[in-house]
Amino acid sequence: MTIPLASMWMPDAATMQLVAPELILTAAIAALLLVPLAVGRNTSVSLLLALIGVLAAATVGVGALGDRTPGDGHSIELFGPSGPAGASPGMLVVDRFGGYFRALLLLFLAAILVMWQLFEARRERHAPEFLTLLLCSGLGMILMAGTSNLLMMIVAIELASLPSYALAGFERQRRAAGEAALKYSLFGAATSGFMIFGASLLFGLTGSLHIPTIVQHLTAVDSGPASAALLALALLTIFAGVGFKISAVPFHFWCPDVFEGASITIATWLSVASKAAGLVLVVRVASLCGGMLNDAALLGGAYEFVLLPILRYGLAAFAAITCTVANLAAYRQTSVRRLLAYSSIAHAGYMLAVAPIISRSADSPGAAMSALAAYLAVYLFMNLGAFLALALVAVDRGREDVEAFTGLGWRDPATAASLTVCLVSLIGLPPVGGFVAKFLLIAALGRFAVADDAALLWGLVTVVVINTAISLFYYARIIRQMYLRGESEPATALAAPAGAKLVLHVCAVVLLLTGTLSIGALKRTADSAAVRAAPPAVRVSDAHVFPTRARFSEPRP
């Protein structure tokens, strides 16, 4: 079938401005591929190109947060099949929450580039390829967090995942890196297959790949047991793909091995970016469904017994199991890399706990989304600081186990103090940003527990508090090793890059400020991002869907 050119929608300048950071990042990727053909393979030139592109995209992204156009309680959908922006189901969604995450991720990507330059650039002979893969991974994660279309979701996850597999095994001279890449790619391929299968089931049931349209179909029609069973299977298989990105239990097995085998820079990148992108995607879907599913009477037939339990009790169970299993596993680790890997899984479980709230709150998800926004910002700094300290110790000692930190408080007091701030923040104790972030999360759970479903939400609060107590013990092992062991160590600073120490100290200062003087600034910034990802008003009859026979109900006898 030929589509007349006149009927096709072409993006205008205003539309392209909304995705300017993504376009700048794409241009930087193209430059990294083309410029070496003209000037040769120069690590410094490639790094400069990547930094300019990422910082330019981050500047535009941060500046866009001040533009109220895509905020104020609504979102804009772009690149739909026809019509102007926001008039039809589109491939990308622009709203304040997505813009906030985009700005955070780009700033973190810039920090990762600096970290790579400090620790790995000198021995890397394939800088253009490495940086291209890293920026492609970042672009995919940004697109993951900015879509409400199943097809675009799959494409974005693959764009984020495929470069990550190569990055995990980029240090080919290390056997552990090859094993990490193999495990990562095998797990990723399996979960991607499950996710595509689930998306095809949803398309067969509803005739649409647009998530709000899918939910509208499910709330507008009757269903039988067979359709409800297919819906449950579709949702679970799709979550397998997203759960792989956030390392939710039981899709977490790749994470510790990949963190241990990959370079320290890539382990740091995956510890924050991959999980944050997957969590924002889960929260976006929960937010899109929340308003329509808040009233169970809207659901047709057996769908009531599938959608509500999965979105509420299923996500809550995944969150509780994820943080509990991860913290118990971290307690037994001697390798600090693996310990931080399980720590990142546990924090993913904490942040996933807000999804059941968002899926149930039709009018005011602000507290839950604000808590997640604050947690993401603080988590970026405390995890970056912890991995930087690990890299500093590894360069000096040539080891990455807990024993390598022996006497660090006496040898290099400033580095040990900054690492202590990061670890205390990871635990969630005052007076640092991690405590404020966890307090906001628990407060959001408690607020909605008073109004609705007290047993479920108070149960989540209890799980978070107990797991915080468990995490205290394995983080405290590192602090004890720094200050209560090796008092006879010579007071010589770590033989490591001074720039890395500076970035570590900056992370510690930010965590102290967000836990004391800048609590209000953190809360206001998070509140400004906490806007429901509400789609434009598109009626089922107006949606661009394809006809399918087994679309709504069971065949009548």
Place of tokens 């080891």: 399
Question: How big is the chain, counted in residues?
Answer: 557
Tens-level pLDDT at each residue, the chain (557 residues):
444 444 445 566 777 788 889 999 999 999 999 998 888 888 889 999 999 999 999 999 888 776 654 444 466 777 665 544 444 567 888 888 888 999 999 999 999 999 999 988 777 678 899 999 999 999 999 999 888 889 999 999 999 999 999 999 888 778 888 888 999 999 999 999 999 999 998 888 888 888 888 877 776 666 667 777 888 888 888 888 888 889 998 888 899 999 998 999 999 999 999 999 999 888 888 777 665 555 444 455 555 566 667 777 888 899 999 999 999 999 889 999 999 999 999 999 999 998 888 766 544 457 888 899 999 999 999 999 999 999 999 988 888 899 999 888 888 899 999 999 999 999 999 999 999 999 999 998 888 776 666 778 888 999 999 999 999 999 999 999 999 876 665 667 777 788 899 999 999 999 999 999 889 899 998 888 876 544 444 333 333 333 333 333 333 33
553 found inside a domain: no
Specify whether the CB–CB gap between 245 and 160 falls below 8 A: yes
Q: How far apart are CA 123 and CA 83, in angstroms?
A: 51
Q: How far apart are CA 335 and CA 219, in angstroms?
A: 49
HSE toward the beta carbon, residue 17, CA cutoff 13 A: 9
The confidence score (pLDDT) of residue 438 equals 94
Specify whether the CB–CB gap between 499 and 118 falls below 8 A: yes
548 found inside a domain: no
Burial class (CB in 10 A: 0-12, 13-18, 19+), 26: middle
Nearest alpha-carbon partner for 128 in 170, 184, 158, 179: 170
Which residues constitute the domain of residue 126?
Answer: 15-533
Specify whether the CB–CB gap between 208 and 214 falls below 8 A: yes
- Contacts of residue 33, defined as CB under 8 A and 6 or more positions apart, other chains included, come to 128, 132
485: amino acid identity, one letter = R
DSSP code string of 89-152: --SEEE-HHHHHHHHHHHHHHHHHHHHHHHHTGGG-S-HHHHHHHHHHHHHHHHHHTT--BHHH
Residue 364 gets which letter from DSSP? -
437 found inside a domain: yes
Helix axes 20-39, 43-64, angle to 10 degrees: 170
Specify whether the CB–CB gap between 214 and 206 falls below 8 A: yes
Torsion from C-alpha of 17, 18, 19, 21, nearest 10 degrees = 80
**Helix runs in 353-497, H state only:** 355-360, 366-397, 408-411, 413-427, 433-451, 454-483
140 found inside a domain: yes
Q: How far apart are CA 421 and CA 139, in angstroms?
A: 31
8 found inside a domain: no
Domain count, the chain: 1
Tokens of 59: 């500047």
How much of the chain is helix, strand and coil, in % rounded to 5? 75, 0, 25
The confidence score (pLDDT) of residue 18 equals 83
Specify whether the CB–CB gap between 376 and 276 falls below 8 A: yes
Place of tokens 């701030």: 421
Specify whether the CB–CB gap between 181 and 257 falls below 8 A: no
Torsion from C-alpha of 387, 391, 397, 400, nearest 10 degrees = 40
The confidence score (pLDDT) of residue 330 equals 93
Q: What is the largest CA-CA distance in the chain?
A: 85
348 found inside a domain: yes
**Helix runs in 207-249, H state only:** 211-220, 225-246
